[in-house]
Amino acid sequence: MLKTIFFNPIYNVYVVLVNIIPGHDLGLAIILLTVLFKLAIYPLYRQAILTSLRLKEINPQLEELKKRYKDDKTLQAKKMMELYKSNNINPLSGFWVIIVQIPIFLTLFYVFRGDITAHFSSLYSFVPAPTVFNKLFLGIFDLSANKNYLFAVLTGLTQYYQTKLTLPAPSPAPINGGERSFADDFGRSMNTQMLYVMPVIIVFVSATVPAAVCLYWIASNTMSIVLELVYQNKK
């Protein structure tokens, strides 16, 4: 069932792209697939970007609520939700963007972990199987190979920069020995881990998966960075 719903459509679109791209470069097909996928989920992604920008704008108000209601977590959560609602913010919008990308990530992993021709049985009747395809992206990088350290590092770097763009500014540390709340410390710790630790983890993970998966990740992150910068400049 999941193969029919998720894998087959994505795989067939990918094969169509391989067939029409000059040179039948599998890497260029992945980049084009990423662009098409981003366009398909653009309404979701646009909402996620706008939410991220609004969260940055109201971050001082959020920090004030956390301090004002630090002894009453239930009331604090209620006030925060009211603030989100009054600013038309859905905190889960970024979560859905991540979720909808999982099928394409898994599809590429499944295709490139073995022989790409092994899945031709999943092609629709109107999609011809490619007789020629080039697994060397730009004639250099084998997309089926693991341990592509260049791609792994680029994946981590693009993830770092994308995260840096989307994270709200940290609340200022107390001066003159002021009181530091657990919430403030926890927030700073989470931001630090997301900004610095997570990209490092992604580098190590990326080195263990086919380079094709890394290429999708890099292309996806790069498009996200460009869109984020465009919307930030509009503000």
The residues with which 89 forms a beta bridge, in sequence order, are: none
- How far is 169 from 179, CA to CA, in rounded Å? 20
pLDDT digits (tens, 9 = 90+) for 68-108: 887 777 888 888 888 888 888 877 777 777 788 788 878 88
Of 234 and 109, the structure prediction assigns the larger pLDDT to: 109
Q: Domain spans of the chain? A: 2-234
pLDDT digits (tens, 9 = 90+) for 164-217: 887 765 555 555 555 555 555 555 666 677 778 889 999 999 999 999 999 999
pLDDT at 65: 83
Close Cβ partners of 87 (under 8 Å, ≥ 6 residues apart): 54, 57, 58
pLDDT digits (tens, 9 = 90+) for 17-72: 999 998 899 999 999 999 998 888 888 888 888 888 888 788 888 888 878 887 77
pLDDT at 46: 84
Can you give the pTM of this predicted structure? 0.80
